[in-house]
Structure 1
Amino acid sequence: MKNRVFNTGETPEDLKRIYNYDGSTLRKAQLRMIEMLSFLDNICKENNITYFLAFGTLLGAKRHGGFIPWDDDMDVFISSSELKRLRKIINNGDYQFVIQDNKIDKGFVRYYNVLRDLNSEYIKDEFVHNQRKYRGVQIDLFPYDYGVMESGKKLIGMTMGFNEKFLLGKYPFLCSLFFKIVRNFIIPLFRFFSKFRGKKYISLGYEGVSLGYTYLAEDIFPLGKIEFEGLTVPVPNKIEKILVVDYGKNYDFLPDIDDRNQHRVLDIKFYK
């Protein structure tokens, strides 16, 4: 991979020099996330919990052997039921990481969860981000499910957008009540009906809210393995098919410079 020349004419060395050179703030954040991924992997192995790389992290593993050079977070898939168990294990333990959800952070009204580092902080000029108690370097924990209905995800996504735009930081009681109604009643209702739709397809779950991201279950399981920044971690068994769904047939091409998204992070601070 070191000798590769991408479609833009850039090499891995060029990208590293521009984005995540050794000692850069971004590279420090990526190294912290590697620690977090190693921690997550060990916890999941010890407790027989299944997870696998997703989205940009999966793309980075395939195309770069690790992080997309400009990426400042990580994504993994985990089943909805096992996420509950993982959250209990980590949040009841004595670790430098926490799984962020609305129970421990009332300013976090997303339906998926996030593994946060307690010794760092993303600095963003973003209202929603700055309402949260935990703002450290992160791994997004996206639930997956079988038989997910796109209409359900669309509705749930609209509720999240409404809550963040109109209630968060302004009407705490209504914000919390609205979140609990969706999280404890509407999402379980859609999940109940999904049980009758079979197990041929796996999708980003209702908590993920984004439309699309539906895959053949046989393209994911049984899981394979890949090297990611020196770690051997689980991935779907047919990576190429998954990436075509996520990014199109040209997933292996680098995007234009203006399209290299860094999630609007202004800076990253480290406290340990």
Structure 2
Amino acid sequence: MNKPIKGKELKSVLLKTLLRFNEFCKDNDIKYSIAYGTALGAIRHKGFIPWDDDIDVIMLRPEYEKFEKAWKQYILNHPDHYKLWPEMDEENYFMAFCAKFFDTKTVLYEHFSKGKIVEYGIYIDIFVLDHIPVEKNEQRKLFMDVRFYWKWIQHFQRHFKKWNKFVRKNHLSFLPSLDMMARLLMKCKDKYNKQCTPLVSLTQDYQKKSDTNVSIYKYDWFNDFTLVEFEGHNLPIVKNYDDMLVATFGDYMKLPPEEQQVGHNVEAYWI
């Protein structure tokens, strides 16, 4: 029976995974910021939010592409017990939403609705920002297009693996498949990157019911970084972290109601 990893030990493995990621980024001059609950924890608690059990980082598209290329090159010639699930890789269950960087000495099972369980290792999430238009209607159209192709990617990836292989093997690129949807999605995402607009976003973070996207940030924020304490270590965060946290959480120094102070539905073990 594998030994379970819980509580402080789980957070210790999470922290080591983040520090390995941070070390690699420093060595390769790659810029990123801690983000979401990790950034909030750093500012409000100088570390993990007490009930939180994951880590988030955020990068502009060019920095992420630089990271992915450098890691793939590095891992060819160096043994390492950390693994990258790239953002647009078929192996990544969360393909087209975020990349995962995880410890292969561990196994983690994440439980989702309808009984779905995903298996990988104790991980950090890497979210990628793309430029978006300033005009609200154009933003809405982009977000809806991205979500449309993203949903199809999830569908083809999880339910049509044999079909995808058939299309690829026979060079039938004109037929709907995972590859086609991935190309169309990246074309959407890249449209405003070429214009270098003043806003960036995790484009999939669009809530259709409320017509909002909480991950809309100013591009200029990602030109300047500072260091902030997180569990006794100094980690990068955008200098405008107050603006970023307000955009994401509103009054972020106020604790949520006790019933909302819950972690993710995961179980982890040593291999």
| Equivalence map 1:237-252=2 (5 Å) | 237-248=239-250, 250-252=251-253
Match of 1:70 among 42, 51, 68: 51
1:112 aligns with 2:93: no
TM-score, normalization: structure 1? 0.77
Cα distance in 2 for partners of 1:58, 1:144 equals 16
Letter of the structure 1 residue corresponding to residue 22 of structure 2: D
C-alpha displacement at 1:139, in angstroms? 0.8
1:155 aligns with 2:145: yes
Cα distance in 1 for partners of 2:219, 2:189 equals 20
Structure 1: runs of 5 or more not aligned: 1-22
What secondary structure sits across from 1:156 in the alignment? helix
1:86 aligns with 2:67: yes
Cα distance in 2 for partners of 1:190, 1:239 equals 25
Larger fraction in strand? 2
Higher relative contact order by CA 8 Å / sep ≥ 6: 1 or 2? 2
Structure 2: runs of 5 or more not aligned: 134-138, 166-175, 208-212
What secondary structure sits across from 2:49 in the alignment? coil
CA contact (8 A) 1:119 1:270 kept: yes
Cα distance in 2 for partners of 1:179, 1:67 equals 37
CA contact (8 A) 2:150 2:185 kept: no
TM-score, normalization: structure 2? 0.77
1:260 aligns with 2:249: no
1:195 aligns with 2:197: no
2:226 aligned partner: 224
C-alpha displacement at 1:140, in angstroms? 0.7
Letter of the structure 2 residue corresponding to residue 116 of structure 1: F
CA contact (8 A) 2:149 2:184 kept: no
1:98 aligns with 2:87: no
C-alpha displacement at 1:24, in angstroms? 7.2
1:139 aligns with 2:116: no
1:8 aligned partner: none
Cα distance in 2 for partners of 1:240, 1:135 equals 33
Higher mean C-alpha deviation, range 72-81 or range 89-98: 89-98
For these two proteins, the number of residue pairs brought into alignment is 242
C-alpha displacement at 1:150, in angstroms? 4.1
What secondary structure sits across from 1:187 in the alignment? helix
1:269 aligned partner: 269
1:52 aligned partner: 33
CA contact (8 A) 2:146 2:189 kept: no
What secondary structure sits across from 1:124 in the alignment? strand
